[in-house]
Structure 1
């Protein structure tokens, strides 16, 4: 199974070098050059590791990770930076960074650090939540499985499904959904909730989620 890595770096040459190198080792890379674009990608997709430059446009690597950690995202993160002062390094770790490597760096060393961090994270990879005999959620990697097959659902579908399953038999209010699916800096879209609900109904059946008019939803499966 290939791991998915989000790379935040505004140096085009380095970005391409990292994609070529890591792609050659079977990692699937998403490349972004600004903090805001990285944040957008993370709200739409699931990743196993972040490689983060600090000095990037729109939103620094530090602020990017701070935003994600505040939303409950615990995906392993490595800072790839030219900053070397103790204050900056301390800030990176305090914000939730797991490791750092200073520029310029050796690609083989970066690969070792990635492998070590992912191996460490495997301790929580088997954190499962069963929905029924066929379906289960991998909470650490934010994946939905049908038997042994991974299903393709986006991150907000996953977060909504997790909330509904965790509160199975109870009404999940719209306020609870807002708090789970959107960070404080994101604009809440009521229409999107209906889209996510319909996406889940396509998987589990139209009667699997009951609409409690004006209040929220209840998972019936």
Structure 2
């Protein structure tokens, strides 16, 4: 998942960011409320983790502003304020969950994962496109340059994840979580095997490749040049 963490405590931000990334998530970090509102409004995230007390614009105002624009991204408040009234205020402002500092990383990760599984009631593209590649999520079909590509179920899901992250590196851990629902490394070659099969169908019949291996990082799908 792609997570935006808005936290002005540098130590806490590093701590949370490392935990999220070690669990296979992509985590962007901002320390100012105004910057957080700007990025959350213009970028697509799966979950927002927002501190209540922020410089520039406090967390409550940030969340209220987002909800006023009908942004339905799930939001977890992360804060040292632990009064019942404060928790109620945060939830009524538009937060989906509330975690009080200090917290256990395992609980934070569980809450983020739970929020990421919730439907967001946002318009969903039913056809993904990257260059001359098309993936129809309703008809479950794939085409490149108008040529049909026959994909097995896991290959289809793998390609969907790569297309939704076009131009960005997708790590092995991210693929294990999003395609196979593994939240640990099973120490098998399942990812590499499926990437090889997908590349054979997606790239080898065509003059220019789209699926690239980034050494020691992961995989990246981008339009053919």
The TM-score bracket by the shorter chain reads: 0.5 to 0.7
Distance 1:63 1:130, change over 3 A: same
TM-score by length of 1: 0.57
Which residue in the other structure is 2:58 paired with? 60
Within 2, Cα distance between the matches of 1:124 and 1:87?
Answer: 28
For 2:88, which of 87, 90, 96 is the aligned residue?
90
Within 2, Cα distance between the matches of 1:24 and 1:85?
Answer: 31
TM-score by length of 2: 0.56
What SS does structure 2 have at the residue aligned with 1:59? coil
Flag structure 2 segments of 5+ consecutive residues without an equivalent: 139-158, 168-222
- How many residues align? The count is 143
Flag structure 1 segments of 5+ consecutive residues without an equivalent: 139-146, 154-202, 204-221
Runs of 4+ in 1 over 3 A off after TM superposition: 122-138
- Residues 1-221 of structure 1 aligned to structure 2 (within 5 Å): 3-119=1-117, 121-122=118-119, 127-129=124-126, 134=134, 148=160, 149-150=163-164
Distance 1:54 1:123, change over 3 A: closer
Deviations 1:61-90 (A, max 9, x none): 111010000001000000011111122111
Distance 1:72 1:137, change over 3 A: farther
Within 2, Cα distance between the matches of 1:39 and 1:137?
Answer: 31
Deviations 1:88-113 (A, max 9, x none): 11111111111011000011111111
Deviations 1:163-211 (A, max 9, x none): xxxxxxxxxxxxxxxxxxxxxxxxxxxxxxxxxxxxxxxx9xxxxxxxx
